[in-house]
Amino acid sequence: MNRKSFLPSCLHVLLLTAIFLIILTGCQGASDIMNDESQQENSTSNKDIQSIKDSSKEEKGNTFTATIIRVVDGDTVKIKMPNGNEETVRLLLIDTPETVHPSKPVQPFGPEASKFTKDLMPAGSKVEVEPGIGERDKYGRMLAYFYVDGEMVNKLLLEKGLARVAYVYAPNTKYLDELENIQKQAQKDQIGIWSIENYATSKGFDDSKSKEVSVEKTTGNSSCSNPKIKGNINSKGNKIYHIPSGQYYEITKPEEMFCTEQDAQDAGFRKSQS
């Protein structure tokens, strides 16, 4: 090959090489852009999924710290407010079987619900209280959600099958979806109130399923193996206790049993005058 033909050939090869490198670089850049877009899309998708999960759970609202005076039953608690006032509080969106109703017998799983709440919130303990909207029911009781160690007591009672979702009235429906999902699981597991067929209904607890329940509870620091003092709530809602020597002791059906008169008085009962 002579010198004149060699130079054009070299230039041709160099030109083709340069074009090839340009094309290769462009492809690599496009690939990098596509990878970046794909990663960004996946990241956005994951964030969206997490956002959906987070949005399904309501955030806890404003709370205040209160002191437990005593637990009345599974869903009703007496507290001391930060300002020193005393309030009776009904746990929102749930209903536990009765233990102290003036016109109803002690209902199955009522004592268990009451004991569970008492164990969670013993007298003198501190709890977080999240008031509902409007705050009170027709009986003048405050409506609220209670928290112990960050756990909502209303939810825990449902998880154990010791309560049903009930008294659902707007605008106090903030945690309704969560509570209903917890109830469905308890129903599926047939635990607590759901272990008795057709006992817990949308209208309440079927009293025909109720049985005589021996309630042997003590309050305060006293304890004994065989409490003798009977605590009864009459038709007017008055809490009266009867000692074995009392005139009406034998015919009295107890809602609570106490070891000492002091225990009964601490629980809000007064002595029978007969």
Closest C-alpha to 273, from 237, 234, 247, 236: 247
Query: Burial level of 156, CB count in 10 A (0-12/13-18/19+)?
Result: middle
Q: What six digits make up the tokens of 52?
A: 């959906």
Catalytic residue among 37, 58, 87, 98: 98
In the residue annotation, 270 being an active-site residue is answered as no
94 forms bridges with which residues in the sheet?
165
Cα distance between residue 274 and residue 272, in whole Å: 5
CA distance 187 to 103: 28
Active-site hit among 41, 59, 86, 90:
90
CB atoms within 10 A of CB 110: 26
90 a catalytic residue: yes
**203 — alpha (psi -120 to 50), left (phi > 0) or beta?**
alpha
Structure token pair of residue 143 = 């409506």
- Structure tokens given for 242: 């009867």
Question: What's the distance, CA 67 to chain centroid?
Answer: 19
Q: Which of 70, 136, 141, 159 is catalytic?
A: 141
Q: Would you name the residues annotated as active-site residues? A: 90, 98, 141
